[in-house]
Amino acid sequence: MKAFKWYATASAFALTLSLTVPVLAADVTIDDIVNDAKTTHDVVTNGLGTQGQRYSPLTTINKDNVQGLVPAWTISLGGEKMKGQETQPLVKDGVMYFTGSYSRAWAVDTKTGHEIWQYDHRLPEGILPCCDVINRGGSLIGNKFIFGTLDAKLVALDAKTGKVIWSKTIDDFKAGYSFSAAPLIVPTKAHGPLLLNGVSGGEFGVVGRVEARSVETGEIVWSRPVIEGHVGTLNGKPTTMTGTKNETWPGDLWKTGGGATWLGGTFDSETGLAYFGTGNPAPWNSHMRPGDNKWTCSRLAIDVETGEIKWGFQTTPNDGWDFDGVNEVVSFDADGKKLAATADRNGFFYVLDRTNGAFQGAWPFVEKITWAKEIGKDGRPVFNPENRPGNPKDSKDGKKGNSVFAVPSFLGGKNQMPMAYSPDTKLFYVPSNEWGMDIWNEPVAYKKGAAYLGAGFTIKPLFEDHIGSMKAIDPMTGKIVWQANNRAPLWGGVLTTAGGLVFYGTPEGEFKALDATSGKELYSFNTGSGIVGNPITWEENGEQFISVISGWGGAVPLWGGEVAKTVAHLNQGGMMWTFKLPKKMAAN
């Protein structure tokens, strides 16, 4: 007999389903988190390890038998809130935890797929999410599952019951703030485990920042704004200013400068640094803000003890194309160096020294890039001046600047979908897209809670037969070793394994496995809706399982222009799929 209990707070409610079978609460230690990349019986971090490599050492499912994968179970997210499922699940002690669109969360029995509890956040009227009602996952620590919401809150749930333990407001959603990334849990000597979160809302002129909070209470320990002129805090007191006010920003524009840290971060225990990307400067119209506009479109390394920026690397100074620099920073080692790689929305693949941010190299990973000729030896782009959208003040009526066709589009050579790195092949597997855009500038003024763009755009495909392209990239040379093209844009993440496989999904609903060395397709299963989420794998009772969420949505249907028309027929959905091998095949 199932018993239902309701728990309510002023801003949210949770529906908890109590089972007759006892449910173990997650008991995740900070050591579990730091060592997640090495363990195979659980997945307790976003990225299968804080470094974000999304690599598993499991080999039970491999190139020789992956064609035998079958569904073990699936569960529907139900109701009308089915679109845009961009989450990555977590697994601990026989329970899977994941989030869904509209700021919802679940705990599910990994043996059966039966729901243990479901939490539905009560969203207020007037939320202002930029890019659909998605959520990209949560974090586990102790007995808590913690995730962010579209009304810019952080909610800590009891992992056993789904009951709210604490809830904290990040910022004012009416000003355009929201949050959809998976929070990052990091170890510190001075404060114990801390939860690191960013903010969303760059299109509304918010100022990006990274905050560190107590995992027990949700209270802020330190904060670090990413735009020069703003001052950080530590233990409730002001600390240092980020950069120097007006060094690379004119007038008061730094006060509404953008730089949203909307994708979350990674952490490297060897350096003690958390790596966060920062979004576009505001407004989009770059003629209003001459200068580099630090630290927008950048990768920042932050000391997790103090919140101080140890180094910064800006990929697109004075961005005029909305090339957010938020994409994940993945740590890896090569040639005796501690390195980090990032595939930028601007179409270039960068490798940096992760200890000090020193530039190692950058190469184009998409075709026909127009905005820059190359990346110079100093790491700065060599701009094509004629490909910057024109200044509206130069037009006859002052209302629309000269339009240009820019590649890639503002949705990027790669967007939020995380890449993977295999230490076996020493290759990165990058879900990329080949598209461009007509873009022009318009006059704009800041108004709280209103879009702060100053630009118009229309996205267009570059090739008739494909937009998406899964690419295997050598990070030491930039060589594209192989690529697998896809008609629709790729918008989901990647998993690679010691079994020699690369897993990912497509908007057409296919969950695929490729040979990690050659790119040959070895397996495909249609999930019934487009995949924009991130796959995981783990081992339980001697069997290897693989899970991925299916549910089309995200930014492409909203902002894709001509591209959106080509995928308008794709169905929404919300299903968590879990696969395994039949026992006879797994034993061979």
* Alpha-carbon span 555 to 60, nearest angstrom: 36
Q: 69 CB contacts (<8 Å, ≥6 apart)?
A: 61, 513, 523, 525, 546, 579, 580, 581
Does the annotation mark 64 as catalytic?
no
Point out the catalytic residue in the list 32, 36, 171, 322.
Answer: 322
Strands 480-486 and 495-497: what pairing?
unpaired
CB count in 10 Å sphere of residue 449: 16
Strand-pair partners of 300: 276, 312
Residues in contact with 569: Cβ distance below 8 Å, sequence separation at least 6, in sequence order: none
Is the CB of residue 328 less than 8 Å from the CB of residue 428? no
* Residue partners of 18: CB distance under 8 A and separation at least 6: 2, 3, 4, 5, 161
Using a 10 angstrom Cβ sphere, with 0-12 exposed, 13-18 middle and 19 or more buried, the burial of residue 489 is buried
**Residues 421, 430: contact at Cβ < 8 Å?**
no
CB atoms within 10 A of CB 299: 27
385 phi and psi, to 5 degrees? -55, -35
Per DSSP, 423 falls in state T
DSSP 231-276: EEEETTEEEEESS-TTSSS-TTGGGG-B---TT-EEEETTTTEEEE
Pair 333, 300: CB distance under 8 Å: no
| H helix or E strand, kind and range, residue 485 | strand 480-486
Residue whose tokens read 């299903």: 575
> Of 248, 244, 137, 254, which Cα lies nearest the Cα of 205?
254
Q: How many helices (H) and strands (E) does the chain have?
A: 4, 42
What DSSP designation does 191 have?
Answer: T
Strand-pair partners of 407: none
Write the CA distances from 533 to 342, 462, 552, 577, integer angstroms. 19, 25, 9, 11
Catalytic residues: 322
